[in-house]
Amino acid sequence: MHEPFIWLELPPGDAVRQRLRVSTCVAQGRSAHQAWEVWDSPDHGRLYRLDGHAMAATADEHRCHEPLVHMPGLAHPAPCDALVLGGGDGASAREMLKYPGLQTVVVAELDAAVVEMSRRWLPSLPAGAFDDPRLQLRIGDARDYVVDAPAASVDLVVFDLTDPEDSPASGLYGADFLAACKRLLRAGGLLSLHLGHPVAHAQRIDTLLARLQASFRIVCLIHTDVPLYGGPWLMACASDDTDPLACTPTQIRSRIAALRAPLRCIDDGRYRQTMTRA
């Protein structure tokens, strides 16, 4: 007998409406900031949603977190300190901790409930990252952390946040906050963030790219495919003085080989194929 399933409606984009096939709600709750749910799915494995938005699934989360972290990370010759904004599920931190020279990664997450949810119900996402002595978890508004952090103190800043529209992170995509994050980057540092679905979020993508290009000299598009998000997905990588497209295949191959754990969807060839100039 087939396991019964139901369809979850996801909030619509401008041009795409998506449903997820799921079988069982494993856990759910509401924090002071948002509602959260964990579901089992025959197609996506175990996944979680925040305020109805699908965030990550065990079957394909590497297609999201590897490009977001490693496209800027591999472009940098030797990252030592990193900042993840949001990222309470621990997956971006897990990827960041693969860099052998990394000394600290700060995860500035608003909602402690997301961290606890991931640790309990989706442990493959952090994969022990929260127990790594190099990780510093800061619960609270990421804006406060960024404003108070010293200038030129990190090599990588990764935005692993909820959507710009109608979420607790909506205020963290403005030009002023991008400038505040840029202040934290050392020479050669890079910043990455989600843009969205190229059709459903076209206006958002244009707006965010314009803000990045106003703040940074070099902006690259990262092209990936995340089934949980409806297929094609765009991210961006920005810097003033490190051009990810200037890296040679030999450099990328060497840097991937030096990582503490293997990658699933990025190699030296895919690195070049995945990125274009904005």
The percent of residues above 90 in pLDDT, for the chain, comes to 86
Q: Encode pLDDT of 55-103 as tens digits.
A: 999 999 999 999 999 999 999 999 999 999 999 999 999 999 999 999 9
Q: Encode pLDDT of 164-198 as tens digits.
A: 766 677 789 999 999 999 999 999 999 999 999 99
Q: Which of 89, 160, 163, 268 is catalytic?
A: 160
Q: Is 231 left (phi over 0), alpha (psi -120 to 50) or beta?
A: left
Task: Give CA–CA dist 66/264, Å, rounded.
Answer: 8
Q: Encode pLDDT of 253-270 as tens digits.
A: 999 999 999 999 999 999
Query: Which residue in 251, 275, 263, 269 sits closest to 65, CA to CA?
Result: 263
DSSP assignments along 2-47, one per residue: PPP-EEEEPPP-SS---EEEE-EEEEEEE-SS-EEEEEEETTTEEE
Tokens 């190099």, located at residue: 134
Length of the chain: 278
The one-character DSSP state at 180 is: H
How sure is the predictor about 1, in pLDDT bands with cuts at 50, 70 and 90? Answer: very low
Q: In what order do the strands lie in the sheet with 24-30?
A: 24-30, 35-41, 45-50, 53-57
Task: Give CA–CA dist 42/44, Å, rounded.
Answer: 6
Entry pTM:
0.95
Q: What separation, in Å, do the N-terminal and C-terminal C-alpha atoms of the chain show?
A: 50
Active site residue 144: no
Enumerate domains of the chain plus CATH numbers: 6-55 (2.30.140.10), 62-277 (3.40.50.150)
Contact in structure between 225 and 232 (CB atoms under 8 Å): yes
Tokens 């030009």, located at residue: 175
What phi and psi, each to the nearest 5 degrees, are found at residue 105? -135, 120
